[in-house]
Amino acid sequence: MSTAQDNSRPFGYRFAIRVLRPLLVALTRREWSGAEHLPTEGGWVVCTNHTSHVDPLVFAHFMVDHGYAPRFLGKNSVFEVPVVGAVLRSADQIPVYRETGRAVGAYRAAVEAVHAGKCVAIYPDGTLTRDPDLWPMRGKTGAARVALATRCPVVPVATWGPHEILAPYARRPRLFGRPTMHVRAGAPVDLADLYDRPVTTEVLTEATARVVAAVTALLEEVRGEQAPARRFDPRHAGVTSTGRPRSLPPDAGRERAS
């Protein structure tokens, strides 16, 4: 893996920063912490929780403010939106064709980006959390796959506040009141003992559980609350993995936290 870090900003990246950063500064307050944990050389993966469609903007704001230019894995449908898709493509972002044979392309692109010294941002939830109280769900294995293939650092980050601008699946943002956006990074997740083991379902599940647990622990600090003892699992609740979920009772779909 390259030891040089690539924080280059293609045209689309620079354009998005110029347009969006002033809006975020005007509409929100910010409480950033933990930047000392962000690697200063080589490629790496950063993982955060997902509560709102505004999350990527706030999280990118945190990263850009600290000199980083993450490459996000995002669902392909966003790349097909006029203008937005063009900006994302020119910003060197990575489309994910979920639940199709083309999904492996995102994994390969992420691995190549890490080897090129880039920071790759992956949401372990894979979609907006279905947890009724907005805690991280049982994670998907994408981040673990990239981390184990590249042996790169995996930095957990907690993001809290974007849902106050745009609640999950809401259509109208709340643009007044300047809510505080909390973003806190933690120490890289230790996966070293898994590197030399065959990449089995068990190993991927263990690596993913460690990442989600680290993100959840940071979110507990930020929220000043304790996460439920059981992690929400959409499969146990009969919830689809994409799209708007139906209303659920508070304890539906929870599994024991790893």
* Average pLDDT for 198-212: 97
Provide the whole-model pTM: 0.89
* Average pLDDT for 40-51: 96
Report the pLDDT value the prediction gives residue 101, as an integer from 0 to 100. 57
Could you count the other beta carbons within 10 Å of the beta carbon of residue 155?
A: 24
Report the pLDDT value the prediction gives residue 84, as an integer from 0 to 100. 79
Confirm if 43 and 113 have CB atoms less than 8 A apart: yes
Torsion of CA 209, 162, 38, 191, to 10 degrees: 0
Tell me the helices (H) and strands (E) count for the chain, helix number first: 8, 9
Mean of all residue pLDDT scores within the chain: 89
Lowest mean pLDDT among 51-65, 100-114, 131-145, 240-254: 240-254
Instruction: Please check the confidence at residue 258 and state whether its pLDDT lies above 50.
Output: no
Report the pLDDT value the prediction gives residue 252, as an integer from 0 to 100. 54
Closest CA to 189 of 58, 39, 77: 39
AA letter at 95: P
Report the pLDDT value the prediction gives residue 245, as an integer from 0 to 100. 64
Confirm if 12 and 49 have CB atoms less than 8 A apart: no
